[in-house]
Chain A
Amino acid sequence: MSHLSINITDKSYTNPSKNEHKQVIKNLQLNLNKHEFVCLVGPSGCGKTTLLNILAGLDSDFLGSISQTDSLTSPKVGYVFQNPRLLPWRTVQENIELASEAKIEAIEFLLKIMGLEKEKQSFPAHLSLGMNRRVAIIRAFATDPDLLLMDEPFVSLDPPTARLAQQLLINLWSERPHKILFVTHDLREAITLADRLVFLHSNPMSVITEVPISIPRQERKQETKIEKFKQQLFIDYPEITTLL
């Protein structure tokens, strides 16, 4: 439960018709500590979604290992996909209940925190994209995961909505902490949310550097501190400028 180590030596796609072989991930090593919020930052298309799919157990065609200390079973995963991926023919509440065994009170509580308690009987098509994304986040949280994967969950939201969603995410996570692996290419978002940043480069994907974020959580609402940290990052790690 406490510690997750990811070690992927090789993940490749082969296209048999063209006889092409493309290596997506090479020698990627990543450790996640208990209750740690880690942001993966890298250029789009560098294989981050592939990594998340491997961790979620959707893709088992790779070389390497995913292991937890203190446990032989694979971690219980909650996954917030890039698109909400809700079942359009089930209501908000049914969507959450189908994925988790959470009690109704727990779900009501999550709906309330996310400001969706009035929409639990609505169908996803009747709600905005931002609301659907929040439902997807609730669904992931309701499963009470060991590891929560989030694949750019706030992309294409307008800035105020995105900020609100980030705040709500942090609120939820502090209520019920667990490991989060959050993919983004927005450095500002990453600094606001994470305990630690992991910078990745592409073709094939591997870790460039890891940076812990020293700003205390209560001070992260101050834009200037975030901006200052960001500028300092570019000075300390010049190699990351090419990624963004």
Chain B
Amino acid sequence: MKGFIFRPAVLTTLSSLFFLAVWHILATYLNSLTLPSPATVFLVLIEEVQSGQLPHHLSKTLTRLSISFSISMILGCAIGILLGCHQKLNAFFDNWLIIFLNIPALVTIILCYVWFGLVETAAILAVVINKLPNVIVTIREGTRSLDTELLEMAKCYRFSKSKTLRHVIWPQLHPFVMAATRSGLALIWKIILVVEMLGRSDGMGYQLHLFFQLFDVASILAYTIAFVTLIQGIEFFILKPIDNRAQRWRK
């Protein structure tokens, strides 16, 4: 019996149940509109899904997320590898990178909307500008730590450029790309809601803003749950399998 309780799956379930129990007790005790019980939130969630509202806004946000994420990863990898390889180029652009890293997200968002109008492109651009420097810095570090012995080997055995990139460089960058992906997703989720709140008329951010004005906490929590579940899904069904496949050569 003791062994059964300490199994990881059982432990996770128990801790989730405990969390729900604490939430429920608090909600019942406080009996306030600002903290609805788990059951209420769950009902709202079902309702929102059935009405099609939540899927509509969630898919809008997801589309923006995937476009801006792809752009910043592809651009970031290319620029990161370039800066990691060329010292002079890096010395020239290093302070640009530091500036962009330190501009508050809100500033880029506002500036993008002011300069390009309240359009989709401006929204995506704002997210990309926020995310790009992080990717560049991570990939640059990865490129700097490339194994020169293996690069020499590739040169000696006359590997073509694409072969070297695919078989020698990319596997070494993989952990850095995964790190950039994970931190990137987390960052983009947070920024994209602000972007939507400030200048879009659909998406999760817009909806949350609406619920805030109506003081509808149950809906806010319902949307949050949908959100978190989705991110967990991405981690569990996409990132973990990629990781496992790429790591199989390790001891």
Contact = CB atoms under 8 A, between A and B. Distances in A.
Contacts of B159: 98-99
Nearest to A56: B156
Interface string A82-98: 01010111100000001
A87 B171 contact: yes
B176 to A, nearest CB: 14
Contacts of A88: 249-250
Contact of A81 (B153, B248, B250, B251): B153
B152 A58 contact: yes
A124 B250 CA distance: 9
B249 A123 contact: yes
B167 A57 contact: no
Size class of the contact patch on chain A: 20 to 34
Contacts of B153: 79, 81, 85
Size class of the contact patch on chain B: 10 to 19
A104 interface: no
B187 interface: no
Contacts, number: 47
B140 to A, nearest CB: 21
Contacts of A230: none
B250 A125 contact: yes
Interface in A159-200: none
Binding site of B, secondary structure by majority: helix, strand, loop or mixed? helix
Interface string B130-163: 0000000000000000000110110111010001
A126 interface: yes
Interface in B214-229: none
Contact of A98 (B149, B167, B248, B249): B167
Contacts of A90: 167, 249
A143 to B, nearest CB: 6
Contacts of A83: 149
A56 B158 CA distance: 10
B249 A89 contact: yes
A4 interface: no
B110 interface: no
B27 to A, nearest CB: 51
Most buried by B among A77, A89, A143: A89
B197 interface: no
B157 A99 contact: yes
Nearest to A79: B156
Contacts of A124: 249
A63 B159 CA distance: 26
Contacts of A77: 156
Given A123-B249, A125-B249, A85 B167 contact: no
A58 B156 contact: yes
Interface of B: 149-150, 152-153, 155-157, 159, 163, 167-168, 171, 246, 248-251
Given A85-B149, A98-B167, 17 more contacts: A58-B152, A58-B156, A78-B157, A79-B153, A81-B153, A83-B149, A87-B150, A89-B171, A89-B249, A90-B167, A98-B159, A100-B157, A123-B248, A125-B249, A125-B250, A126-B251, A139-B157
26 contacts: A57-B155, A57-B156, A58-B155, A77-B156, A78-B157, A79-B156, A81-B149, A81-B153, A83-B149, A85-B149, A85-B150, A85-B152, A85-B153, A87-B150, A87-B167, A87-B171, A89-B171, A89-B246, A98-B159, A98-B163, A98-B167, A99-B157, A99-B159, A100-B157, A123-B248, A125-B251
